[in-house]
Amino acid sequence: MTQEFTITRLGHQGDGIATGPLYVPRALPGEVVSGTPEGDTLAEMRVVTPSPHRVSPACRHYRACGGCQLQHASDAFVADWKQEVVRAALSAQGVEAPLRPIHTSPPQSRRRATIAVRRTKKGTLAGFHGRASDVITEIPDCRLLDPALLAAIPVGEALALLGGSRKGVLAVTLTLSEAGLDVSVSGGKPLDGPFEASLALIAEQHGLARLAWEGEVIASRHAPAQRFGKASVVPPPGAFLQATKDGEAALLSAVREAVGNAKRVADLFAGCGTFSLPLAETAEVHAVEGEATMTAALDQGWRRAQGLKRLTTEARDLFRRPLLPDELSRFDAVVLDPPRAGAEAQVAELARAKLPVIVYVSCNPVTFARDANTLIQAGYRLNWVQVVDQFRWSAHVELAASFSLAHIGG
């Protein structure tokens, strides 16, 4: 039975929430909507009274595609909401901090995306999954992806025809590199000699820089390098990379400012050197990352670069074996960029070590706020938070934050 509801707020996933709670995708606070409740969600939603912040979606695929959650809201609304998500997460931990104006990456700037590709009776279907759905929506006019990345979707289709099945879905990760397209595939059929030869032929036909299948490099025609400061790094297939160059630059600018004149820096959860290598232009850096393939790529990038200070690497699981205070004591500053789980174990040791400067880059405001509270209880001051929105029109929030010991200042 159709009923009307008033949306009171947005949840962390960008859904509108009415009393219940009842989750209403693509609804905004203050709106009156109608539909049929199905469990804790509202089906067949229709907006009765729209919010003044509601706008026409920028992309014609928005209604069916699940790649974006917030194109129905104005840019100003989304920016304010993401700031408030961070503020609320900190407040829940009893923490207050100055939030700088949000930095938002422009449309069509995503340099990396994972598309879903399935074989069909007539050929292939490639794009993004619909929201909470196995249905794939084609995205020829996507407003998220860099045009060069969008133009690469036929590569995924060719790979599905060769190595996919009508029952399964290929996950094809497309990444723009200095040498061309870097492609990594999972979910396909097992490798054998003839199949590998066919894959290598596709890499040649489409001019791919590199093609990897289930983590195994099949063809590497050109090194798919990424530029981090003065260094050029070839990440292992599927390695983490910031979603946009613009967002990466904003985060790096915040990190550099917070690190300041520190001469010895530890970069924890360093990946392939997003921050380590630019910081090595002015400081000695020790980069720690759990994946040895990433530290090897970082080290090679440093060795080939010119004009960088000493950089050392260490492959180490910082969740199980965080750096201890005696190991941290030789650094003037620490940068950490953990995954969504945060860095609870490592932050506990940082709180004991009492380093002058800590810079925290986070993709999860909730775990960041937890870790920030630990540092503040240990005598640190949270100087500022810079929110960065490089996942435009999504509910995803990233930030960089500056901490200093309260008696030292910052």
Q: How would DSSP label each residue in 258-317?
A: HHTT-SEEEEES-TTTTTHHHHTTTSEEEEEES-HHHHHHHHHHHHH-SS---EEEEE--
List the one residue out of 377, 228, 204 whose CA is nearest residue 297: 228
- Nearest CA to 209 out of 234, 241, 246 is that of 234
- The C-alpha atoms of residue 152 and residue 226 are separated, in whole angstroms, by 18
Could you tell me if 176 and 112 are in contact, meaning their C-beta atoms sit under 8 angstroms apart?
yes
68 is catalytic: no
The residues, any chain, with a CB within 8 Å of residue 249's CB and separated by 6 or more, are none
Among 385, 352, 363, which residue's Cα sits nearest to residue 95? Answer: 385
Annotated binding-site residue? 31 = no
Give the DSSP letter of residue 193. Answer: H
Amino acid (one-letter) located at 84 = E
Taking the C-alpha atoms of residue 379 and residue 400, their distance in angstroms, rounded to an integer, is 19
Q: For tokens 């920030």, name the residue.
A: 372
> Residue 268 half-sphere exposure, CB side, CA atoms within 13 Å?
29
Catalytic residue of the set 68, 142, 272, 363: 363
Is 289 labelled a binding residue? yes
* C-alpha dist (Å) from residue 377 to 94, 268, 326, 327, 354: 11, 21, 20, 22, 12
Q: Which residues neighbour 7 within 8 Å (Cβ) at sequence distance 6 or greater?
A: 16, 17, 18, 24, 27, 28, 29, 30, 31, 32, 33
Name the nearest CA neighbour of 61 among 128, 123, 14, 124. 128
Q: Any idea what DSSP says for residue 51?
A: -
390 is in an annotated binding site: no
User: Cα 157 to chain center, whole Å?
Assistant: 25
Q: Indicate the annotated binding residues for S-adenosyl-L-methionine.
A: 242, 269, 289, 337
Q: Indicate the annotated binding residues.
A: 242, 269, 289, 337
Q: Which active-site residues does the annotation give?
A: 363
